[in-house]
């Protein structure tokens, strides 16, 4: 399997800011779930070309944007300039450059499913979040991949090779499918309290094609999870 970061280097230019699912479905849902970030210190884990990081800086957050693809980061640096700290980082490695309890929020949009073993990654997120800090992420919905890729065993944690076709070119990308129970167990396993699990439909259908609207309003596509460090229901 080709290293995922290199797969994303190849995809970066065609990926741009992401397609309609990113721009019109995932991002609005994620920004709504994050709520007010004014004055908060945020790690965007798997920031890609930096669109969410930009939206968060515009909302007054102090953002560190990290990704393992050089080419994606070039785009993020060009977009963000001095407004955010941009770091080449493979999330499977320890966040050695981040002190304990240094983030108020860690956000990860559509990146966790590229990682096989979540526990060391989640443990680092837990360590670097302050007490009552939030980890909010979106990922492929496990039912979508179970059905969409016609997998024989829902309970397996398994790599899936996908091919994206765009502008006449084809790009290989490998991600990891895992069942819902495993997602929740891994998040809870490092100490987080899961506060929300969301399967949103688009906040607005503006700009989406009829086909996308039909699909997004009737089939699970992305799953969103909001978790908190420690048990602080009123935080």
The residue ranges that bind ligand SAM (CB under 6 A) are: 4-5, 8, 18, 22, 46-48, 51-52, 67-69, 72, 90-92, 109-111, 114-115
Distance, CA of 113 to CA of 103 (rounded, Å): 22
Distance, CA of 217 to CA of 234 (rounded, Å): 32
Nearer to ligand SAM, 61 or 193 (CB): 61
Nearer to ligand SAM, 132 or 160 (CB): 160
Nearer to ligand SAM, 132 or 173 (CB): 173
Nearer to ligand SAM, 153 or 165 (CB): 165
Residue nearest ligand SAM, CB atom distance:
48
Distance, CA of 43 to CA of 106 (rounded, Å): 5
Distance, CA of 133 to CA of 151 (rounded, Å): 36
Nearer to ligand SAM, 30 or 227 (CB): 30
Nearer to ligand SAM, 61 or 72 (CB): 72
**Residue found under tokens 């949009």:** 109
* Cβ burial, residue 94 (10 Å; 0-12/13-18/19+): middle
Please state, as a whole number, how many other Cβ atoms lie within 10 Å of the Cβ of residue 173.
Answer: 16
**Measured distance between the N- and C-terminal CA atoms of the chain, rounded to whole angstroms:** 43
Residue 121 Cα distances to 162, 182, 197, angstroms: 23, 15, 19
Taking the complex as a whole, how short is the minimal distance between the CB of residue 110 and ligand SAM, in angstroms? 4
Residue 48 Cα distances to 67, 134, 201, angstroms: 6, 20, 23
């Amino acid at each position: 399997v080709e290293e995922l970061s290199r797969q994303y280097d190849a995809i970066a230019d065609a990926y741009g800011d992401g397609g309609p699912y990113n721009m019109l479905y995932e991002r609005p849902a994620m920004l709504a779930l994050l709520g007010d970030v004014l004055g908060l210190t945020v790690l965007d884990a798997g920031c890609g070309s930096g669109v969410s990081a930009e939206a968060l800086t515009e909302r007054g957050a102090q953002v560190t944007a990290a990704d393992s693809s050089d080419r994606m980061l070039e785009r993020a640096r060009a977009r963000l300039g001095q407004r955010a700290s941009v770091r080449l980082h493979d999330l499977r490695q320890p966040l050695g450059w981040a002190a304990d309890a240094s983030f108020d929020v860690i956000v990860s949009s559509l990146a966790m499913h590229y990682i096989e073993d979540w526990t060391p990654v989640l443990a680092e997120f837990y360590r670097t979040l302050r007490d009552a800090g939030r980890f909010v992420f979106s990922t492929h919905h496990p039912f979508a991949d179970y059905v969409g890729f016609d997998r024989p065993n829902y309970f397996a944690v398994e790599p899936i090779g996908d091919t994206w076709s765009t502008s006449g070119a084809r790009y290989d990308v490998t991600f990891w499918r895992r069942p819902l129970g495993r997602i929740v167990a891994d998040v809870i396993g490092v100490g987080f309290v899961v506060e929300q699990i969301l399967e949103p439909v688009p906040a607005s259908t503006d700009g989406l094609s009829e086909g996308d609207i039909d699909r997004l309003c009737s089939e699970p596509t992305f799953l969103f999870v909001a978790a908190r460090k420690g048990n602080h229901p009123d935080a």
